[in-house]
């Protein structure tokens, strides 16, 4: 939530970068392809790809690093993008959303990846401008999850080279959603380990882990629920950029999103269940500690009292002189202890 403050009071549409800078330089990777040809180049100057706007080929302009507001402004001007859209691209605190304009579609997504080393979630924002023959993607940092897609374009595998910019955008959405599945797998495995530990030998650290787990699930939830709405709007829209051939793919993607949501919601219930289990287990443990204390105290406190009585120094205590008194008292104590034990057994405390 931090760093939103610099924008307060500015005129709407002012271009201000909001977020943590994840890379220092910006690079622009461009892929231009038709069913038969493919051209790839990297540049730092937006003007290098300005001609692609009216090209017959499909182009994917991938901007890596969005803190260079001047560059973004140049691109926005050439591709005639609404100032509010540019403002949204620069604000990495967006909620996933889609907006339809006359000659392009604007979409904001959250890429969530599972960091295997840190065993935690990482979030990145990506914005897409989907035009009739181009897709401009704005990413926060250089390394991304789209390498398999680039490979597919290069090798001409699948149908991607024969489809339009809408299919390219779909392919990017598809990889994003597939990544959610990877995250869910990571969380799921983590959760199973947690559950096993909880059932075998619960300790205090589990509590914090459940809490972290809950927060991560919340994060995923915030990314996926709006995405469902986004894909549904994309599929149902009658904008000409989305061709009829691509719609079944979007519907399939929609089903995947529903599945992610389903798992996220189940995880939610499961976490609540884990917490309940943890709390009950801890309270059971307290109960057992109490029982041990009570058993020991209840057996020995009365016995100690008896010993105390015969430790008194009164001049006249007739029992003290009886030769068998000591043994009788010891016997009495043993009997008392046995009766206590029998009582505890009957109460199922032992």
Q: One symbol per residue from 44 to 73: x for binding a second copy (CB under 8 A), - otherwise; what is it?
A: ------------------------------
The binder of a second copy chosen from 21, 310, 334, 339 (CB under 8 A): 310
Of the two residues 130 and 160, which places its CB atom closer to a second copy in the complex? 160
Q: Which stretch binds a second copy (CB under 8 A): 60-68, 120-128, 130-138, 253-261?
A: 253-261
Is residue 162 close enough to count as binding a second copy by CB under 8 A?
no
Q: Which stretch binds a second copy (CB under 8 A): 11-19, 72-80, 117-125, 234-242?
A: 11-19
Residues 51-69 as b/e (b if ≥16 CB within 10 A, e otherwise) read ebbeeebbbbbbbbbbbbb
Is residue 345 close enough to count as binding a second copy by CB under 8 A?
no
Widest distance between CA atoms in the chain: 120
Of the two residues 41 and 310, which places its CB atom closer to a second copy in the complex? 310
Is residue 15 close enough to count as binding a second copy by CB under 8 A?
no
Site for a second copy in 90-149 (CB under 8 A): 93-95, 97, 99, 147-149
The binder of a second copy chosen from 15, 73, 74, 270 (CB under 8 A): 270
- Given the structure tokens 């967006």, which residue do they identify? 94
Alpha carbons 222 and 109: distance in angstroms, whole number: 11
Is residue 302 close enough to count as binding a second copy by CB under 8 A?
yes
Distance of closest approach, residue 133 Cβ to a second copy, in angstroms: 21
The binder of a second copy chosen from 193, 297, 334, 350 (CB under 8 A): 297
Distance of closest approach, residue 328 Cβ to a second copy, in angstroms: 10
Alpha carbons 156 and 37: distance in angstroms, whole number: 10
Distance of closest approach, residue 207 Cβ to a second copy, in angstroms: 5
Site for a second copy in 177-216 (CB under 8 A): 178-179, 181-182, 184-185, 188-189, 199, 201, 204, 207-208, 211, 214-215
The binder of a second copy chosen from 74, 329, 336, 341 (CB under 8 A): 329
By C-alpha distance, which of 168, 173, 169 is closest to 158? 168
Of the two residues 48 and 212, which places its CB atom closer to a second copy in the complex? 212
Q: How many residues does the chain have?
A: 350
Of the two residues 309 and 335, which places its CB atom closer to a second copy in the complex? 309
Distance of closest approach, residue 102 Cβ to a second copy, in angstroms: 11
């Amino acid at each position: 939530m931090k760093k939103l403050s610099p924008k307060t009071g500015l005129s709407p549409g002012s271009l201000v970068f909001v977020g943590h800078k994840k890379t220092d330089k910006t690079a622009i990777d461009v892929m231009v392809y038709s069913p038969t040809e493919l051209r790839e180049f990297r540049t730092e100057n937006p003007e290098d790809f300005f001609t692609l706007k009216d090209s017959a080929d499909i182009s994917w302009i991938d901007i890596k690093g969005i803190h260079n507001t001047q560059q973004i402004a140049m691109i926005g001007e050439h591709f005639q993008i609404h100032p509010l859209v540019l403002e949204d691209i620069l604000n990495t605190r967006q909620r996933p959303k889609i907006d339809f304009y006359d000659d392009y579609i604007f979409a904001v997504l959250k890429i969530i990846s599972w960091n295997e080393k840190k065993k935690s979630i990482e979030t990145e924002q990506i914005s897409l401008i989907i035009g009739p023959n181009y897709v401009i993607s704005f990413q926060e940092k250089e390394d991304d999850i789209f390498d398999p897609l680039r490979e597919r374009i290069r090798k001409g595998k699948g149908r991607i080279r024969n489809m339009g910019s809408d299919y390219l955008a779909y392919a990017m959405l598809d990889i994003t959603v597939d990544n959610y599945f990877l995250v869910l797998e990571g969380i799921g495995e983590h959760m199973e380990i947690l559950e096993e530990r909880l059932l075998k030998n619960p300790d205090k650290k589990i509590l914090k882990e459940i809490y972290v787990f809950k927060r991560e699930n919340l994060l995923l939830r915030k990314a996926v629920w709006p995405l469902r709405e986004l894909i549904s709007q994309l599929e149902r829209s009658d904008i000409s950029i989305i061709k009829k051939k691509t719609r079944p793919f979007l519907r399939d993607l929609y089903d995947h999103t529903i599945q992610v949501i389903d798992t996220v919601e189940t995880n939610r219930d499961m976490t609540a269940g884990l917490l309940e289990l943890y709390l009950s287990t801890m309270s059971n443990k307290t109960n057992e500690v109490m029982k041990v204390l009570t058993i020991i105290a209840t057996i020995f406190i009365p016995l100690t009292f008896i010993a105390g009585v015969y430790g008194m120094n009164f001049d006249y205590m007739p029992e003290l002189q009886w030769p068998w008194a000591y043994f009788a008292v010891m016997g009495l104590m043993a009997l008392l202890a046995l009766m206590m034990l029998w009582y505890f057994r009957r109460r199922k405390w032992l």
